[in-house]
Amino acid sequence: MEVTENCSVKVAVHIRPLIADERTQGCKECVTVTKGKPQVQIGTHSFTFDHVYGHAASPSSSMFEECVGPLVDGLFQGYNATVLAYGQTGSGKTYTMGTAIKDGSETGLIPQVMNALFKKIETLKHQTEFQLHVSFIEILKEEVRDLLDSEPVSKPVTPNGNAAKVTVPGRPPIQIRESSNGVITVAGSTEVAVSTLQEMATCLEQGSINRATGSTNMNNQSSRSHAIFTITLEQMHKIQSVSAVNDTSDEDMGEEYLCAKLHLVDLAGSERAKRTGSDGLRLKEGIHINRGLLALGNVISALGDEKKRKEGVHVPYRDSKLTRLLQDSLGGNSKTVMIACVSPADINAEESLNTLKYANRARNIQNKPVVNRDLVSNEMQKMRQQLQYLQAELCARGGPTSDIQTLKERITWLEATNEDLRRELHEYRSLRAVAECCETGAQESRSCFVKIDGNKRAIQSMDLPDYQMDEVLSDDNPGEIDEVAKELEHALRRNNMDRELNELNKRLEQKESEMKLVGGTDTEALKQHFQKKITELEEEKRTVQVIRPSVSVVLYAFCSNA
Ligand SMILES: Nc1ncnc2c1ncn2[C@@H]1O[C@H](COP(=O)(O)OP(=O)(O)OP(=O)(O)O)[C@@H](O)[C@H]1O
């Protein structure tokens, strides 16, 4: 599985404008942005993030393209992703995410995600088969609820005006499960198969209507739950090998199955009972919301603090349903973008500072996103990579290998020619030795033969230092000179053969070391070695060709004299 290079959690800050209520209260702006830089100041504090939007920073409209678009592209490559909106109540999380979609509004991130997703599917549908599912859940008072449950449910309106969904009796509660390979799944929630943008938008709208909201002093439509809208993209596409020769795809290499999830999370905002004016049910909700956010803060703290991370400190994912569900998104198999929403009003300065501190820490979280293939596709991918590697290796070796082959053939031919010439030369030399000995034997035989053992004579020296031999002759019969010459010739031939045998042995050893060289991978060294060898052989051949005429002349002279 491929692991991406830079996988820290990206953090963007979204600063909303002062809202009517804040203006009425005469609030002043307390958040400033460094021009041209993703830097935010509040009081004496200054923070740098990956992106800053709204207020005097980049326009909010760039947020999708810069922060979320790449995650949508990543989905098609098989990477899980999470977009997480965080901040105090009324800071603009729902507005930013677009979870409260109405009348097809496209200002929020989720509607833009849906548009981008279907646009991309449209361009790829001819080569890839897609399947899309959505689920929409909320965590309300530490309970996971299904916002896409199609069962008819009554929506009781509480005395506080809270429209919350109730769990249908008999239906098993939704559970968070961790599979053997550490993947977090939600069991029992509705997974709606969608094939059009409209169907997906309907799911978002339906779920948003079902989500628990209520009015507080700080937000007249405050989300009372953490909501997670999940898009699951499954794709099956044909893999074709690419020809190394002309870069065209040719061979069908099977299918690849990828499955990736995009979690779009709109958290409930942190709140202070004193400021929200909550009591009763709303107060209880607020306590639960804060508890979940506190657990989230602790997870971010454990993962984002380098010292704690190095110490291998325990990450308290299990302290709340929210952190359990976001386990993969924070420190796990996901590309994650956190959007810290802040109000610029001085009345919210303390909460905004807390949000920025948390967001700043979240930037240190390292995730480990991987391409989510099924086992067979994974195995296929490994084999494809191996094949590509071998093809590249073959291409890279193509030039030198053919060179070496040509060189080897040339060497074999040169060796054979050389061998013939050598043999010819030896024959000439032997004949010349015989001729010389015959002449010397007839005229000054004593200088050539030395008495060794009474009646035996041995050749002590000849004009050919290469050939040492002991040959026996009878001294009593000088008329046997022809016989002696024949024996001498025979002896010389035998000696030649010994010498050639030695030569062959030497050559065999040389071949063995050449074989070792061929077995190695240093083709350049091999090429140099063979070229040197060719030069040597050609030199030897030249020498032999130079000697041959002079030997012929001697032999011819001898034959003529005889
Ligand atoms: N960028 C923005 N531009 C204009 N108005 C905004 C912006 N962001 C938020 N608002 C307005 O601010 C108010 C609060 O926003 P929103 O409901 O999105 O906050 P929230 O963080 O989701 O709150 P809660 O946590 O209570 O649900 C809304 O009236 C919304 O229209």
| 244 against 496, higher pLDDT | 496
| 182 against 16, higher pLDDT | 16
Q: Is this prediction's ipTM beyond 0.90?
A: yes
How many angstroms is it from 92 CA to the middle of ligand 1? 3
> Which whole number is the average pLDDT over 2-26?
86
For residue 158, the model assigns a pLDDT of 45
For residue 163, the model assigns a pLDDT of 47
Mutate to test the pocket of ligand 1, among 13, 15, 16 (most ligand atoms within 8 A of CB): 16
Structure tokens at 80: 């899980």
Q: What span, in angstroms and rounded, lies between the C-alpha atoms of 261 and 78?
A: 8
How many angstroms is it from 324 CA to the middle of ligand 1? 26
For residue 216, the model assigns a pLDDT of 73
Q: What span, in angstroms and rounded, lies between the C-alpha atoms of 558 and 440?
A: 12
Mutate to test the pocket of ligand 1, among 219, 265, 348, 352 (most ligand atoms within 8 A of CB): 219
Confidence of residue 471 (pLDDT cuts 50, 70, 90): very low
Q: Nearest C-alpha to atom 31 of ligand 1 is from which residue?
A: 95
Q: CB-based contacts of 190: which residues, under 8 Å, 6+ apart?
A: 135, 146, 148, 149, 150
For residue 455, the model assigns a pLDDT of 37
For residue 39, the model assigns a pLDDT of 95
Q: What span, in angstroms and rounded, lies between the C-alpha atoms of 46 and 32?
A: 9
Mutate to test the pocket of ligand 1, among 95, 139, 213, 296 (most ligand atoms within 8 A of CB): 95
How many angstroms is it from 98 CA to the middle of ligand 1? 10
For residue 55, the model assigns a pLDDT of 80
How many angstroms is it from 74 CA to the middle of ligand 1? 29
Per-residue pLDDT tens digits for 264-319: 999 988 777 666 666 666 777 778 888 888 999 999 989 988 888 788 889 999 99
| 102 against 343, higher pLDDT | 343
| Alpha-carbon distance values, 133 to 8, 25, 85, 118, 364 (Å) | 27, 45, 22, 13, 32
Kindly give the number of the ligand 1 atom that is closest to the alpha carbon of 16: 1
Per-residue pLDDT tens digits for 137-154: 999 888 999 999 876 544
SS (H, E, C) 45-87: EEEECCEEECCCCECHHHHHHHHHHHHHHHHHCCCCEEEEEEC
Confidence of residue 115 (pLDDT cuts 50, 70, 90): very high
pTM: 0.66
89 is in an annotated binding site: yes
Chain mean pLDDT for the chain: 77
Kindly give the number of the ligand 1 atom that is closest to the alpha carbon of 213: 27
Amino acid symbol at 282: R
Most confident of 100-104, 256-260, 343-347, 517-521: 343-347
Per-residue pLDDT tens digits for 527-548: 777 778 778 877 877 776 676 5
Q: Nearest C-alpha to atom 15 of ligand 1 is from which residue?
A: 92
For residue 317, the model assigns a pLDDT of 94
> Which whole number is the average pLDDT over 205-212?
88
| 194 against 562, higher pLDDT | 194
For residue 537, the model assigns a pLDDT of 77
How many angstroms is it from 114 CA to the middle of ligand 1? 21
Kindly give the number of the ligand 1 atom that is closest to the alpha carbon of 14: 1
Q: Nearest C-alpha to atom 11 of ligand 1 is from which residue?
A: 92
For residue 354, the model assigns a pLDDT of 93
Kindly give the number of the ligand 1 atom that is closest to the alpha carbon of 218: 26
> Which whole number is the average pLDDT over 54-77?
93
Confidence of residue 500 (pLDDT cuts 50, 70, 90): confident
Structure tokens at 490: 């025979």
Q: Is the pLDDT of residue 45 over 60?
A: yes
Q: Nearest C-alpha to atom 16 of ligand 1 is from which residue?
A: 92
| 180 against 104, higher pLDDT | 180
How many angstroms is it from 220 CA to the middle of ligand 1? 10
How many angstroms is it from 90 CA to the middle of ligand 1? 5
For residue 345, the model assigns a pLDDT of 95
Handedness of CA 85, 89, 95, 99 (dihedral sign): positive
Percent of the chain residues topping a pLDDT of 70? 70
Q: What span, in angstroms and rounded, lies between the C-alpha atoms of 320 and 37?
A: 36
Mutate to test the pocket of ligand 1, among 19, 27, 61, 341 (most ligand atoms within 8 A of CB): 19
Q: What span, in angstroms and rounded, lies between the C-alpha atoms of 393 and 371?
A: 26
Confidence of residue 493 (pLDDT cuts 50, 70, 90): confident
Three-class secondary structure of residue 371 per DSSP: coil
Q: Nearest C-alpha to atom 14 of ligand 1 is from which residue?
A: 90
Q: Nearest C-alpha to atom 2 of ligand 1 is from which residue?
A: 16
Handedness of CA 423, 426, 428, 430 (dihedral sign): negative
| Alpha-carbon distance values, 250 to 242, 245, 320, 392 (Å) | 6, 11, 52, 16
For residue 250, the model assigns a pLDDT of 52
Lowest mean pLDDT among 15-29, 102-116, 191-205, 269-283: 269-283
For residue 241, the model assigns a pLDDT of 58
Domains of the chain plus CATH, in order, are 10-241+249-373 (3.40.850.10), 387-561 (no CATH)
88 is in an annotated binding site: yes
How many angstroms is it from 93 CA to the middle of ligand 1? 6
92 is in an annotated binding site: yes
How many angstroms is it from 95 CA to the middle of ligand 1? 5
Confidence of residue 106 (pLDDT cuts 50, 70, 90): low
Per-residue pLDDT tens digits for 164-182: 444 444 456 788 998 887 7
Q: What span, in angstroms and rounded, lies between the C-alpha atoms of 133 and 27?
A: 44
Lowest mean pLDDT among 21-30, 225-234, 407-416: 407-416
Lowest mean pLDDT among 110-124, 125-139, 315-329, 400-414: 400-414
For residue 277, the model assigns a pLDDT of 61
Helical H runs in 89-164?
A: 93-97, 109-124
| 562 against 125, higher pLDDT | 125
> How many other C-beta atoms can be found within 10 angstroms of the C-beta atom of residue 408?
15
Structure tokens at 145: 């609820």
94 is in an annotated binding site: yes
Confidence of residue 515 (pLDDT cuts 50, 70, 90): low
Residues in contact with ligand 1 (CB, 6 Å cut-off) = 16-17, 19, 54, 60, 87, 89-95, 219, 221-223, 268-269, 341
Helical H runs in 311-464?
A: 321-325, 349-362, 375-448
Per-residue pLDDT tens digits for 217-273: 677 778 888 999 999 999 998 766 555 545 555 556 667 899 999 999 999 887 776
For residue 183, the model assigns a pLDDT of 84
How many angstroms is it from 13 CA to the middle of ligand 1? 14
Candidates 500, 471, 468, 469; CA nearest to 483 is: 471
Three-class secondary structure of residue 155 per DSSP: coil
Q: CB-based contacts of 514: which residues, under 8 Å, 6+ apart?
A: 529
